[in-house]
Amino acid sequence: MTDRQPKGIWRLTVRSDFAAAHALRNYCGKCENMHGHNFAVEAVVEGDRLTPDTELVLDFKVLKQELKGVLEMLDHKMLNEMPPFDVMNPSSENLSRFIYRHLAERLSGREDANGVRVHAVTVSEKAAQSATYMEL
CATH number of the domain residue 102 falls in: 3.30.479.10
3-state secondary structure of 109: coil
- CB distance 106 to 116 below 8 Å: no
In a domain, 3, yes or no: no
| Model pLDDT, residue 3 | 64
Distance of CA 102 to the CA centre of its chain: 8
DSSP state of 114: T
Distance of CA 47 to the CA centre of its chain: 16
Is the pTM higher than 0.85? The answer reads yes
**Which residue positions form the known binding site?**
22, 35, 37
| Model pLDDT, residue 6 | 77
Q: Total structural domains in the chain? A: 1
In a domain, 100, yes or no: yes
Burial class (CB within 10 angstroms; exposed 0-12, middle 13-18, buried 19+) of 18: buried
Q: Which residues are catalytic?
A: 31, 76, 125
**Which residue positions form the known binding site for Zn(2+)?**
22, 35, 37
In a domain, 124, yes or no: yes
Which of these, 132, 2, 20, 113, lies nearest to 75 by C-alpha position?
20
| Model pLDDT, residue 111 | 86
The runs of H, that is alpha helices, within 74-133 are 92-108
Residues of the chain with pLDDT under 70: 1-3
In a domain, 4, yes or no: no
C-alpha span between 110 and 59 (Å, rounded): 12
| Model pLDDT, residue 127 | 87
